[in-house]
Amino acid sequence: MRRAIARSFGIGAITLAVGVAAQVIYTVAFCPRQHAWQRVHDHQADMVRDAGYRYALPDEAIYACTTPHRLGPMVWHQDLDCYCAPASTSAEALGRLLSGDCVVDHPHATRADATGACRHAHCRDLSESQ
């Protein structure tokens, strides 16, 4: 019986280690928001987002926000993404909420808008980031 319990704990530890390793590899190598930050930071492109399932609603503005990507207490890199929030929200208030720096990209975004960093009213929902 003890041998089976020890084996179960061993398998659990291995599974946890594999999961943590996979998360670290994804965070370091494949994070799409970090790639967006890198493209803009290196002046390769001004566009942050032009696709996705979430569109800004008529009473929302789109904000381009740089936020730290944390894994536990450790900051791995900076992320950049477009967020939808009520148009009455200030960029500073949204930055405090996300623990980052935000600027207004579109005060009144439309799906036909092909300018700015956040195009065609695509954005990330605030509930996804908390």
pTM of the model: 0.81
Q: How far apart are the first and last CA of the chain?
A: 43
pLDDT (0 to 100) of residue 1: 82
- Strand-by-strand arrangement of the 74-86 sheet: 101-106, 60-71, 74-86, 124-125
Torsion of CA 128, 116, 119, 62, to 10 degrees: 40
> 56-77: per-residue pLDDT in tens?
999 999 999 999 998 788 898 9
Domain residues of the chain, as ranges? 2-30, 33-128
Residue 130 has pLDDT above 70, yes or no: no
Q: Could you read off the pLDDT of 25-40 as tens digits, one per residue?
A: 988 888 989 989 999 9
- Cα-to-chain-centroid distance, residue 79: 6
